[in-house]
Amino acid sequence: MTVLDDIIEGVREDLQARRLPQRDIESAARAAAPARDAWLALGGGEADPGLRVIAEIKRRSPSKGDLAGIVDPAALAEEYVAGGASVISVLTEQRRFKGSLADLDAVRARVDVPLLRKDFTVDEYQIWEARAHGADLILLIAAALDDAQLKGFSELAHELGMNVLLETHTREEIDRAAAAGARIIGVNVRNLKTLDVDRSVFGGLAASIPAGAVAVAESGVRGVEDVTHYASQGAQALLVGEALVRTEDPRGLLREFRDAGSAAMATRLA
């Protein structure tokens, strides 16, 4: 069993424990305020070459263990917004990441930028659940889903007004993401089956991301040097968690990342 398989097994168990009747979760999703457009927030369709950042609220990871206590996720989200985050990612997986839907609720009540519900989506119920709790963007992981699920889950998210960040790690997965109509494609440089990180993965795959889709580099950001590297290789946005939750100045570090990445993008596009 891979690390990803083990995580998904726990996700399914936890989902069964909290599942509401389908009519109730659908009613809550339809009653939620309209979703914000994360594709536009991440630079989709815009000429502005500035780097966007998806700033993540993340207490723990399977590879690094505990990262930060984060007693008040909403306060951290406000710091991220002040630093220029385009989207806030809220981890809601419980067992491996110490996240919760309560974190998503707290952040939604405090900030007005698009929110990514970061979890391992393996059931349509989770998509309704994400919308009911105010998410504007969901994560779908190509390595965890078959083609029919990628297409069907994407279509449901779009029907509910949300966007999808479709995460890939190989060229074949990018092709599958494109076939599913993905408009935001992430390349995770961490192999979720082994948790190994190889920062060269993004540069090797960026050219395969279809024109018109927002290219997001995920994982492996330790500092400005990594931000510059990804931006120079074609990233239009970064998903950053560990570096931001470990620093004492998330607002300042976010601004530093955005400035460095935007400069690298401008150089690449000149």
Q: Which residues are catalytic?
A: 56, 58, 118, 167, 188, 218-219
139 vs 26: CA distance, rounded Å:
19
User: Is beta strand 52-57 parallel, antiparallel or unpaired with respect to 60-61?
Assistant: unpaired
Give the pair of three-digit tokens for residue 172.
């074949």
Give the length of the chain.
Answer: 270
Question: Which residues sit opposite 214 in a β-bridge?
Answer: 184
Cα separation, 270 vs 267, whole angstroms: 5
Residues 129 and 15: beta-carbon distance below 8 Å: no
Measured between alpha carbons, how far is 1 from 81 in angstroms, rounded to an integer?
39
Residue 90 and residue 79: Cα distance in Å, rounded?
14
Residue type, 230: Y
In degrees and rounded to multiples of 5, residue 164 shows phi and psi of: -125, 130
Give the sign of the dihedral formed by CA 108, CA 106, CA 250, CA 206: negative
d(CA 13, CA 52): 35
Structural contact between residues 86 and 52, judged by C-beta atoms closer than 8 angstroms: yes
Q: Nearest 5°: phi and psi at 239?
A: -105, 115
Q: What phi and psi, each to the nearest 5 degrees, are found at residue 87?
A: -140, 145
Rg (CA), the chain: 17
